């Protein structure tokens, strides 16, 4: 357990933080300073730890993480309770190669099966890029196999030839089989999905999208979710940033495409607006002409 965590003073004036509820701000501040966190911004945080430290019940903890996920501040794997703060390494740069090596050792402890590890790898590559080759004693190799270097687009699959007409008795090739082209419904969603800083593998996105289709989710419902998300990102000025979720996460088992993605209402000061009831224009008895 660590003794302290550093928070930049701009935390309080950040547009993304101002758009959060009081609980959202409390939870985000807790994640940055939590005794269970580490220098990578990716750590396991069971509900019980948060409940004890913040004196919240489990429902409140769950709702808090849902808000931070919509906001883009933090991502949590519900099955394993591992948490990732996508911007953490940008806000907390490694001071020297020895610190970077220690962080790379922590990276090895993150389970390979969770989707956030590849996103963490993107941030780690960016964070260690300031050090000369050889300064990390080869520890940077632990990042190999976890997506491409940040900012490098994934190569698009080569177009497949038009399929031959299906002969009687044969079965059509499934879209998720190796070598199969992407279905039109997915291509439409992929074209509208918001661009992000860092990797956003199309193949991983399709696997998640196809898994939801097998669960009975309609393509139009996922497309509607993407459009709500695009509108939300535009209103919060996060489009094109590292806070945009990877599509594989968006279409993953947590079904972020089902979120309402409500656009924050702001007042003139830039702070979240307070709903105002319409004026009562009823003339009281005795004042009528």
Q: Which band of pLDDT confidence, cut at 50, 70 and 90, is reported for residue 148? A: very low
Range with the lowest mean pLDDT among 10-14, 168-172, 194-198, 245-249?
168-172
Q: Which of 241, 281, 274 is nearest to 16 (CA)?
A: 241
Helices 22-33 and 58-71 sit at what angle, rounded to 10 degrees?
Answer: 90
CA distances from 185 to 4, 102, 230, 247 (A): 48, 44, 18, 15
Structure tokens at 55: 């004196």
In degrees, rounded to 5, the angle at the alpha carbon of residue 211 between the alpha carbons of residues 210 and 215 is: 115
- Residue ranges of the alpha helices (H) in the chain? 15-18, 22-33, 47-54, 58-71, 88-91, 97-107, 116-128, 184-192, 202-214, 219-235, 247-250
Whether this prediction's pTM lies above 0.75 is answered by no
Task: Give 195-214 pLDDT, tens digit per residue.
Answer: 998 888 898 899 999 999 98
Give yes or no for a contact between 28 and 68, defined as CB atoms under 8 angstroms apart.
Answer: yes
* Domains of the chain by residue range: 9-143, 184-258
CA distances from 193 to 47, 117, 187, 188 (A): 31, 21, 10, 9
First to last CA, the chain: 74
Task: Give 155-186 pLDDT, tens digit per residue.
Answer: 434 444 434 444 444 444 445 444 458 899 89
Q: Supply the pLDDT for residue 61.
A: 95
């Amino acid at each position: 357990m660590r003794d302290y965590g550093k928070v930049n003073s701009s935390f309080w004036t950040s547009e993304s933080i101002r758009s959060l509820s009081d609980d959202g701000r409390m939870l985000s501040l807790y994640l940055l300073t939590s005794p269970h966190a580490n220098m990578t911004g990716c750590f396991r945080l069971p509900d019980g730890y948060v409940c004890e430290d913040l004196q919240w019940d489990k429902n409140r903890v769950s709702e808090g993480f849902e808000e931070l996920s919509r906001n883009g501040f933090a991502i949590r794997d519900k099955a394993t309770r591992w948490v990732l703060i996508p911007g953490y390494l940008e806000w907390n740069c490694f001071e020297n190669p020895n610190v970077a090596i220690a962080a790379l050792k922590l990276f090895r402890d993150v389970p390979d099966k969770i989707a956030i590890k590849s996103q963490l790898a993107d941030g780690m590559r960016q964070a260690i890029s300031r050090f000369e080759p050889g300064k990390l004693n080869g520890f940077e190799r632990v990042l190999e196999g976890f997506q491409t270097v940040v900012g490098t687009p994934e190569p698009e699959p080569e177009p497949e030839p038009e399929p031959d007409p299906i002969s009687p008795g044969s079965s059509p090739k499934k879209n998720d089989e190796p070598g199969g082209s992407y279905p039109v419904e997915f291509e439409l969603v992929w074209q509208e999905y918001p661009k992000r800083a860092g990797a956003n593998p199309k193949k991983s996105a399709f696997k998640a999208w196809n898994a939801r289709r097998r669960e009975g989710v309609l393509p139009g419902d996922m497309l509607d979710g993407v459009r709500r998300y695009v509108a939300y990102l535009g209103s919060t000025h996060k489009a094109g940033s590292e806070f945009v979720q990877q599509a594989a996460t968006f279409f993953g088992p947590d079904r972020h495409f089902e979120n309402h993605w409500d656009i924050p209402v702001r007042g003139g000061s830039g702070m979240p607006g307070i709903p105002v009831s319409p004026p009562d224009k009823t003339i009281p008895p005795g004042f009528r002409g």
